[in-house]
């Protein structure tokens, strides 16, 4: 799935806001186009935002590259991959390196990391497993395979049959619009459920494991995930179902000691009340609170699956061990 294309020095993205009904590519012509594409979620998913931001800064940085970086970073604050990738471009600039080559390296490294994450994740799954996922952490959100969906897509290639339950993921419906689209394209069995049906499928014994991507992992293993993920984690603990968080090393932020240090992006009321409805679902004066992410407490997480291996609790120690060797 080609979500970010760099061809003949031109940058294109598959507009994810139009999926699954239309597959439209948009060409980026300025830094402002790139900022808007990230802010409007035309390109989304933590690793994909990082890859895209790297190309954006490499191509369109203005006289003051530090300012251009800050501007792009401010488009979405929670996913650490964004500022991590733009920092790499800034470092390359300071060292007189070719910036496009650096952006391409970030993209290629992500393919490699996603493959490794997928292999580690698959080692924990069995044929015929029922798997619940939330939001979209597949190829649209990364480069290839994905993180949360990676083991499923890789397993499918190897002949595993999984039964995936995809939370629709209110309010922006990434599970409905993107995950079910992506899995259908791969020919993987997927059933779309309302977020509120997660406990029912768990209680019925249909779920053997939960797999989700993440936007930032704090040093103690608290993770920032798409809003609603913490609810799924609480339910998993109650029903005794393994809850796995998957992400590349660029998602781990050792400078955030715990989830309390992570800035959570808040988005507009229109996303709750009107964006995906023919008519508004509430009065215009009704207040809304729309945090885009929540923090999953480390005590609810069975394992964090990274490109370097699988970290188990206590995460403070196991994450450091994975990344400091
Ligand atoms: O707001 P989004 O759609 O960018 O949120 C995406 C997610 O929450 C993903 O699960 C996360 O970025 C991990 S992507 C591999």
3-state secondary structure 182-220: HHHHCCCEEEEECHHHHHHHHHCCCCCEEEEECCEEECC
Segment holding 295, helix H or strand E: strand 293-296
Q: Under 8 Å CB-to-CB from 223, ≥6 apart: which residues?
A: 214, 215, 216, 217, 245, 247, 259, 295, 296, 298, 301, 304
> Given the CA of residue 148, which atom of ligand 1 is nearest to it?
15
Indicate the DSSP class of residue 175.
I
pLDDT score at 325? 63
Cβ of residue 118 lying under 6 Å from some atom of ligand 1:
no
Q: Whose CA is nearest to atom 8 of ligand 1?
A: 226
Mutate to test the pocket of ligand 1, among 135, 168, 175, 232 (most ligand atoms within 8 A of CB): 135
Q: 292 C-alpha to center of ligand 1: Å?
A: 10
Q: 240 C-alpha to center of ligand 1: Å?
A: 25
Contact at 8 Å (CB) between 219 and 258?
yes
Calpha distance 58→175 (Å, rounded) = 31
Instruction: Dihedral sign for Cα 242, 245, 249, 255, please.
Output: negative
Cβ of residue 110 lying under 6 Å from some atom of ligand 1:
no
Cβ of residue 51 lying under 6 Å from some atom of ligand 1:
no
Per-residue pLDDT of the chain (325 residues; tens, 9 = 90+): 899 999 999 999 999 999 999 999 999 999 999 999 999 999 999 999 999 999 999 999 988 999 999 999 999 999 899 999 999 999 999 999 999 999 999 999 999 999 999 999 999 999 999 999 999 999 999 999 999 999 999 999 999 999 999 999 999 999 999 999 999 999 999 999 999 999 999 999 999 999 999 999 999 999 999 999 999 999 999 999 999 999 998 899 999 999 999 999 999 999 999 999 999 999 999 999 999 999 999 999 999 999 999 999 999 999 999 987 6
Cβ of residue 4 lying under 6 Å from some atom of ligand 1:
no
Calpha distance 190→152 (Å, rounded) = 11
Cβ of residue 44 lying under 6 Å from some atom of ligand 1:
yes
Segment holding 10, helix H or strand E: strand 10-14
Q: In what order do the strands lie in the sheet with 4-7?
A: 4-7, 10-14, 25-28
Cβ of residue 226 lying under 6 Å from some atom of ligand 1:
yes
Q: 214 C-alpha to center of ligand 1: Å?
A: 6
> Given the CA of residue 292, which atom of ligand 1 is nearest to it?
1
Contact at 8 Å (CB) between 249 and 307?
yes
Determine whether 325 is exposed, middle or buried from the number of CB atoms within 10 Å of its CB (0-12, 13-18, 19+). exposed
Mutate to test the pocket of ligand 1, among 111, 141, 181 (most ligand atoms within 8 A of CB): 141
Determine whether 81 is exposed, middle or buried from the number of CB atoms within 10 Å of its CB (0-12, 13-18, 19+). buried
Q: 224 C-alpha to center of ligand 1: Å?
A: 10
Residue whose tokens read 């294109």: 12
Cis peptide before 306 (omega within 30 of 0): no
Q: 63 C-alpha to center of ligand 1: Å?
A: 31
Q: Residues with catalytic annotation?
A: 215
Residue whose tokens read 């970290």: 311
- pTM given for the model: 0.96
């Amino acid at each position: 799935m080609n979500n970010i294309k760099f061809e003949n020095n031109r940058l294109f993205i598959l507009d994810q806001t139009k999926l699954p009904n239309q597959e439209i590519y948009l060409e980026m012509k300025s830094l402002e186009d790139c900022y808007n594409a990230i802010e409007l979620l035309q390109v989304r998913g933590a690793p994909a935002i990082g890859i895209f931001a790297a190309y954006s800064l490499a191509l369109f940085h203005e006289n003051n590259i530090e300012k251009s970086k800050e501007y792009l970073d401010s488009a979405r604050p929670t996913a650490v991959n964004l500022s991590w990738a733009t920092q790499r471009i800034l470092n390359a600039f300071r060292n007189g390196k070719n910036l496009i080559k650096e952006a391409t390296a970030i993209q290629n490294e992500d393919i490699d990391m996603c493959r490794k994450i997928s292999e580690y994740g698959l080692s924990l799954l069995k044929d015929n497993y029922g798997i619940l996922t939330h939001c979209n952490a597949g190829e649209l959100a990364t480069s290839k395979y994905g993180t949360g969906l990676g083991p499923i897509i890789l397993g499918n290639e190897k002949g595993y049959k999984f039964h995936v339950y995809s939370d629709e993921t209110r309010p922006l419906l990434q599970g409905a619009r993107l995950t079910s689209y992506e899995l259908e394209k791969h020919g993987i069995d997927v059933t779309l459920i309302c977020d509120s049906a997660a406990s029912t499928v768990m209680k019925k014994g249909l779920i053997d494991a939960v797999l989700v991507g993440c936007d930032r992992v704090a040093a103690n293993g608290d993770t920032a995930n798409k809003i609603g993920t913490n609810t799924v984690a609480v339910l998993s603990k109650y029903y005794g179902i393994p809850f796995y968080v998957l992400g590349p090393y660029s998602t781990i932020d050792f400078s955030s000691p715990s989830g309390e240090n992570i800035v959570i992006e808040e988005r507009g009321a229109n996303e709750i009340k009107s964006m995906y409805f023919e008519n508004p679902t509430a009065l215009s004066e009704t207040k809304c609170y729309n945090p885009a992410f929540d923090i999953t407490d480390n005590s609810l997480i069975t394992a964090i699956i990274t490109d370097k291996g699988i970290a188990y609790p206590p995460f403070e120690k196991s994450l450091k061990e994975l990344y400091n060797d």
